[in-house]
Structure 1
Amino acid sequence: MEALGNDFVVLDGIRQRLHLTPETIRTLADRRRGVGCDQLLIAEPPAHIAADVRYRIFNADGTEVEHCGNGVRCLARFLVDEGLAAPGVLRIETDGRITEAEPRDDGQVSVDMGPPELEPARIPFQAPVRQEAYRLATSRGEQTIGAVSMGNPHAVLRVDDMTGAPVAELGPEIERHPRFPRRVNVGFMEVCTRDRIRLRVFERGVGETPACGTGACAAVVAGRLRDWLDAPVTVELTGGVLVIHWLGPGRSVWMTGPARTVFRGEIELPASAAATPRGPTR
């Protein structure tokens, strides 16, 4: 599946049990020797009684991460298209939180991404107190960033021109900056008007991606906190457009954008990753 060019292998772990090792995930994600994807998504039975489904997200390098805005839209579309959930609002469990998503007839999916986390220790980010902006030492001098978690950590830099932003140079460096103990996604934001931005994202464990839903949310939050933006905001990414709506601290961030299936297929996996049928599903 793909959402704004951010592509996923999506697996049904509801009707079958999957046993995927990091090596198997890396094989599936390999664009020459596997299927090829930015991330792998697995739909599973929920652990929380209030949820319809649980989903897990793995980067192409085999590491498991907390959340993915483009991924959750794809997962919601997958659940309805595969008959695993009825159309309407879906409650999707991920990393201890429940996200609501609604696939629409026009191909768009609206998602309640929850309130952003701004406390440094909970992002996590090393800083003595919460601020709207922080100074971060890099090989290119100090950079001013916003630090936000949307279920996964983000550093947001404002740039004059998104096209010429030093994504390849600063992205990997900031991703592994010691002040982000769990690494970080890095957004390079150009503010065009108070209701429109352009954005490139260097995603941890992946590299630069055509689009990042949580990155778009984090950029809008960072921009709103510094009074650069109003609500809603159109976010132009390399892969397409998202609309992000956030009314301020304590409120949920809403994201609307496309998600679609590109193709279905089968691949033979190692015996250690073999799927086994589950019992009847609800």
Structure 2
Amino acid sequence: MAQLQKVHGSMNQFFLLDQTELDSKLTQEQLVNLATHITDQNKGLLDGADGLLVVDDTDDDATLGSMQVINADGSIASMCGNGLRTVSRYLSEKFGQDEFSVQTQDAPLQVKREESFADGVPTFSVEISPVSFARETLPFDNLNTDTIVDQQLPELDDDLTFTAISVPNPHLISFVDDAVLDSDTLENLGTKLNGDNPYFYDGVNVSFAKIIGKNKLFVRTFERGVGFTNACGTGMSATSLAFCLNHPGAASFEEEITVYNPGGMVKTRVHDTNGEYHIDLIGNATVTNTVEIPEADLHASVLDNAEIAETGEQASYEKFVSAVRAAEEV
């Protein structure tokens, strides 16, 4: 029997598969088929998920393993901060190490176990990098600029200002008030820029952020390849950098920033080394369920014979989130 985990970071939910534990690894086509089937909200397992995290070997002796992120629509994400935390926990427990590197699509990234946010809420910190503002790394076109930092873009909206950052996932960020956050502006803009459009022609993650206080944000993201998610780790990281750059009176480099999201809360720390940036993303790595399934069924994306068990960790996470929301009234 093959084993998977249902995991989440800030309720950004995934299934996690370790290819190295299989008798025969799935092909890339089989992995994409599995991702689209198992994450389906109606026909998948456990009400679906936002994507599939694939753990595999790495050629780099300095890393413990590699991570591939396959979105629910079958597209490949460059990175996923929430997912990387859960992969970090998996590899930490598998190899008995608390600080190491994981190979992602674009770079090996440092990760480490942190002090738990609360009882029963395992917490990990992951490096978010490389960071770029360059047009070709996002990419975008037809906006009459090569970088977008706290700029109005009338092609996208008459009133909002935007910042565009790749980390390396592409993100478009705007700081908004409650009225805009509660409107359908984010959904409309996210849908527009992830369909056929002349601006972000490969799509882009769109985040709206509300400043709550000193080093405190609320962020909601329309994610490329997924739509609305409870949280987007790279989105919260990119937004934290934009927070430090665009609102220096409210946010500080090298200090912890608390970022609330519809799925809970994370902390970030933005580092500035002579204009070179990277971000620490700190948050939960929760395993809600274990799944056993015949390996042949896994290759064929047949889910009927899956055996599912709960871990009990979700209750601890929900208790933590309730306490956070009650304390901050968010």
Provide the TM-score with structure 1 as the length reference.
Answer: 0.88
Query: Which whole-Å deviations, capped at 9, do the CAs of 1:190-232 have from their partners, x for residues lacking one?
Result: 1122311111000011111111110001111112121342233
Taking the aligned partners of 1:21 and 1:131, their CA distance within structure 2 comes to 35
Taking the aligned partners of 1:271 and 1:101, their CA distance within structure 2 comes to 30
Is 2:8 the counterpart of 1:2?
yes
Deviation of residue 86 (structure 1)? Answer: 2.3
Q: Which residue of structure 2 aligns with residue 11 of structure 1?
A: 17
Deviation of residue 186 (structure 1)? Answer: 0.5
The 5 Å alignment of 1:80-95 reads: 80-81=92-93, 83=94, 85-95=95-105
Q: State the one-letter code of the partner of 2:292.
A: E
Query: Which whole-Å deviations, capped at 9, do the CAs of 1:78-131 have from their partners, x for residues lacking one?
Result: 2233x2x22211211111301111123521101121342111212223364334
Point out the more displaced range, 49-58 or 130-139: 130-139
Q: State the one-letter code of the partner of 1:99.
A: L
The 5 Å alignment of 1:75-154 reads: 75-81=87-93, 83=94, 85-104=95-114, 106=116, 107-126=122-141, 128-137=145-154, 140-141=157-158, 143-154=160-171
Query: Which whole-Å deviations, capped at 9, do the CAs of 1:43-85 have from their partners, x for residues lacking one?
Result: 010133432211100110111110001000011112233x2x2
Contact 2:174–2:207 (CA under 8 A) maintained in structure 1: yes
Match of 1:190 among 185, 207, 210: 210
The structure with the greater share of residues assigned to helix is 2
Match of 1:261 among 287, 304, 310: 287
Q: Which residue of structure 2 aligns with residue 210 of structure 1?
A: 230
Q: State the one-letter code of the partner of 2:237.
A: C
Q: Which has the larger radius of gyration?
A: 2
Q: 1:87 to 1:152 in 2, by over 3 A?
A: same
Taking the aligned partners of 1:47 and 1:172, their CA distance within structure 2 comes to 38
Identical counterparts, % of pairs: 26
Q: Which residue of structure 2 aligns with residue 280 of structure 1?
A: none
Deviation of residue 167 (structure 1)? Answer: 2.5
Secondary structure in 1 matching 2:41: coil
Taking the aligned partners of 1:242 and 1:271, their CA distance within structure 2 comes to 35
Contact 1:138–1:173 (CA under 8 A) maintained in structure 2: no
Runs of at least 5 residues in structure 2 that lack an aligned partner in the other structure: 1-6, 117-121, 303-330
Runs of at least 5 residues in structure 1 that lack an aligned partner in the other structure: 275-282
Q: State the one-letter code of the partner of 2:26.
A: L
Query: Which whole-Å deviations, capped at 9, do the CAs of 1:219-263 have from their partners, x for residues lacking one?
Result: 111121213422331111111111111133313211111111001
Contact 1:175–1:186 (CA under 8 A) maintained in structure 2: no
Contact 2:190–2:222 (CA under 8 A) maintained in structure 1: yes
Taking the aligned partners of 2:76 and 2:222, their CA distance within structure 1 comes to 17
Deviation of residue 135 (structure 1)? Answer: 3.4
Contact 2:193–2:199 (CA under 8 A) maintained in structure 1: no
Deviation of residue 138 (structure 1)? Answer: 5.0
Query: Which whole-Å deviations, capped at 9, do the CAs of 1:124-171 have from their partners, x for residues lacking one?
Result: 233643342343345753642100011200000111117514322222
Match of 2:190 among 165, 171, 186: 171
Q: Count residues with an aligned counterpart.
A: 272
Q: State the one-letter code of the partner of 1:259.
A: A
